[in-house]
Chain A
C-alpha cells in the first residue's frame, strides 16, 4: 500500500486486513508498555493546514507508539501563512526526508494532488480533505462497529469478518461531511447497508449515485429501519446561519427533526449503538442524555482511532499490500 487517500480506494480484502491489524494494535495498547519498535528510524510528518487537535494528536500518538519520529507542521504561523504553496511545503518536507506525510487540508483533493504530483516520494495519508474524505475516521468507525456488532455481538473474535448484514444510519450534514462520504464508501465495501438521514438542503445533488438510501425523516428510519448503529454528524454552526447558507430555519427546528435525544435512543433496537466523530454540539445534533447514554461509544471511537492509525501507518510504511490507487 503506497497511500491512503480515500476509503473508496480500499478493497474488501484490504479493509478487513486493516481492521484485523488494528485489532492486533489495540491488543498491544492494553499492555503496560504500549510502544512497539516497528517504525524506528522512520519519520512521519503531520502536515495540518486546518486546525484539528484531536486528529493530529491521534496520528501523533499512533506514530509514536510505533517508535517513529514525528514532526508536526501547522500551517498557522508557518511559511504557509506567509504565502508558501502546498508544492513548496511538500518539496521542503521531501528534502527533510519524510517517509510519510499525514495531511489535513481544507481543500478537497489536496492529498490526492500531493500524492500524484511528484512533489514527495513518501506515503501520503489523508487525514481529512475539505468535504471529500476522511478515510481513517471511516476505518475507526468500522472497527468500532465490528467490535460491538459482529462476532456474536462483540462477544467472540471478529477477526477476518466484515460488516455484512448491518444497517447503519448516518444522520446530519451529509452535504459538507467527509465523514459521511468516507463511511458510505467503506461500509458499502464491508457489506453494510447505509441510510443517510438529513433535511433535503443538506443532501448533495448527485447522491443518487452513492450506494446508500436517503431519508428525510429520522423517526421513520429509527422506527421502521431498525438500524444497528446510528452515526450522528457534527453540524457546523457557522454554516447554518442565513448568511452562511441558511440550510435550516433554526437550531431548534433541526434538533426537533434530526437531533438524537433520549426518546429516540429509547426507540432504537436494544443492541444499537451511537457513534459521533466529535467534537459534539450537545443540544444540537445530540442531547446530553444521548451523548452520555450507555449506547454511545463515542469515547471508545477515540481510543480505536489510535489503533486504526497505527495499523494504517504500519501497513503503509512496513507492510505489504496494495490499494486500487496503486494499480
Chain B
C-alpha cells in the first residue's frame, strides 16, 4: 500500500505539521517527518479534516442507474471529500429487506470510492403502513443503524411511535422526512410571497414544523433517538432548540442548499431549484445558519438527489424534486459558515464528519486526527474559488443548483483507509481496489 507524507498541512486549520499515512492508518504526526518510499504531498495552506461522512445520500442504485450508480455516486462523494455515505432507502426495489441493504453495501465495497452504509426503510415499500424488518437489516452484513422513509414522511403517529420504540433494541435511529402530507398536496415550492406571485402551489413551513413538533414529543415519550432530516425553516430550528433544552434525544441536519439558496430562485421557473423540502426565505436561511453555528442543528447532510436530464429539462410542475450536492457541500459550508466567521474548521469537522458518524453509529469514520487512527482524511484548499461546471462533476446527473456559480474552496485529496481516492483534485481511478 502506498505511503503518503502530507507536508505542512493544517489539521482542523491549526498549526502546520507533517502527517504520515501508512498501512491504512495515521502512522505519525510531527515536524520534519521522513519516509523514504512515501509520496510527498505539499500541504502548505491546506486544511486537513477527518474524512467527511454524509448521513443523507441518494445513490439511486438499484433501480435508477440512469440517474446514478453506487460507483458514480461514491466517486462524486470522494471528489467532495467524503469517505463514507449513508445511502437512502428509496431505491427500486426499496431498501426494506436484509437482502437489498446487503446488495447496496457490497456494491459500495466493490466500487471502493467511499464506504457505503445503507439506510433501511422504516416501512415496507415506504408505504407508511407496516414496519419493515428493521431487526434483520440491523443484523445483516450492512449493520444498518439509520432507518428512514425519506422522500416520504412516516405520517401515521402510531407507526412512528412503534418504529422509534423498536430500533432501541439495536441502538438505531429514525431519520424522519418531516412533511405533513395533507398540507403539502400538490405543493411545488415554499408557500409565501413568491409562490403567490408565480401561481405555484405553496408548501407551508408549518407542514414541516408540525411533524417535527409531534415527533420530538413522541421521541421523548418513548425515550428513543430521533433524527430530523433536511430541516429547512426558522420554526423548525426553534422546535429542535426547545426539544434539546428539554433533554430530548433529537439530532437534526440541514442541507448545503438550504444554507445558501432561497425561494427567490424559483422566479425563473428553472427546475434545478425545485427540491423537497423547498428552498425557503432569507429569514429561514439566516435561522438555519444560526442553528448550525450554535449546535441546535448537529450536522450538514447533502441530500444528494441526482436526476437524469430529462427529469429536469421540462416545465416546473413536471420536474422531479432534488439537487445534487456531494461535490459542492464543503464549499457551501466554507462559504456560508467559515468565510463569514460563524464557524472554525474544527466546527466543520464536527458537522460534516464527527457528528454524522456518531449519529449513524459509524465507528471507523469521523475519528480524531491522531496517530493510530484510520487514515480516512480530506485535504482542502480554502483559498481557491472555482466555478461549478457539470463537465467536472463525477455524478452522472447534471442537476446541480450551483452550475455556473463560483464557490469557495476545493478538495485537493481524499484518503480512504490510507489510499488516495482523490489526489490533486482528480479522482484516482487506477488505484481503486476491492478491499473486502
Contacts and interface: CB of A to CB of B under 8 A. Distances in A.
A284 to B, nearest CB: 22
B317 interface: yes
B318 interface: yes
A132 B189 CA distance: 14
A87 interface: yes
3 closest A-B pairs (Cβ-Cβ)? A132-B199, A206-B196, A109-B269
A167 interface: no
Interface string A143-169: 000000000000000000000000000
12 contacts: A8-B197, A85-B310, A86-B314, A106-B317, A107-B316, A108-B198, A109-B198, A113-B315, A205-B191, A206-B195, A206-B197, A209-B193
A206 B199 contact: no
Interface string A42-66: 0000000000000000000000000
Interface in B138-163: none
Contact of B199 (A85, A86, A117, A133): A133
B197 A209 contact: yes
Given A129-B199, A205-B202, A108 B194 contact: no
A131 B317 CA distance: 12
Interface in A98-128: 105-110, 112-113, 116-117
B193 A130 contact: no
A249 B18 CA distance: 73
A204 B314 CA distance: 26
A208 B200 CA distance: 16
Given A205-B202, A206-B191, A109 B196 contact: no
B204 A130 contact: no
Contacts of A207: 196
Q: Which of B191, B198, B199, B313 has the most CB of A within 10 A?
A: B199
B247 interface: no
A3 interface: no
A224 B318 CA distance: 45
Contacts, number: 80
B192 interface: yes
A2 interface: no
B193 A131 contact: no
Q: Which of A107, A129, A132 has the most CB of B within 10 A?
A: A107
A206 B315 contact: no
B269 A113 contact: yes
B310 A206 contact: no
Q: Which of B196, B197, B315 has the most CB of A within 10 A?
A: B315
B341 interface: no
A178 B199 contact: yes
Contacts of B195: 204-206
Contacts of B316: 107-110, 113
Contacts of B204: 205
Interface of A: 8, 85-87, 105-110, 112-113, 116-117, 129-133, 178, 181, 204-210
Nearest to A86: B315
Contacts of B192: 205-206
A205 B318 CA distance: 23
Nearest to A116: B268
B362 to A, nearest CB: 41
Contacts of A133: 199
A130 B200 contact: yes
Interface string B301-338: 00000000010011111100000000000000000000
Q: Which of B192, B194, B198, B310 has the most CB of A within 10 A?
A: B198
Contact of B194 (A87, A105, A206): A206
Interface string B7-18: 000000000000
Given A113-B269, A206-B194, 15 more contacts: A86-B314, A86-B318, A106-B317, A108-B199, A108-B200, A109-B316, A116-B268, A130-B317, A131-B201, A133-B199, A205-B192, A206-B197, A207-B196, A209-B196, A210-B196
A112 B269 contact: yes
Interface in B189-242: 191-202, 204
Given A205-B191, A207-B196, A209-B193, A107 B202 contact: no
A206 B202 contact: yes
Contacts of A181: 197, 199
A106 B200 CA distance: 11
Nearest to B317: A107
A8 B269 CA distance: 15
A157 B269 CA distance: 41
Nearest to B194: A206
Contact of A87 (B191, B196, B269, B314): B314
B170 to A, nearest CB: 42
A206 to B, nearest CB: 3
Contacts of A87: 313-314
A204 B199 CA distance: 9
Given A129-B199, A130-B200, A206 B193 contact: yes
A85 to B, nearest CB: 6
A272 to B, nearest CB: 28
B193 A208 contact: yes
Contact of B315 (A109, A131, A208, A210): A109
B143 to A, nearest CB: 42
Contacts of B194: 206
A76 B202 CA distance: 28
B198 A204 contact: no
Contacts of B313: 85, 87, 117
A47 B151 CA distance: 34
A206 B196 CA distance: 6
A221 to B, nearest CB: 20
Nearest to A106: B317
Contacts of B314: 85-87, 113
A80 to B, nearest CB: 11
B308 to A, nearest CB: 13
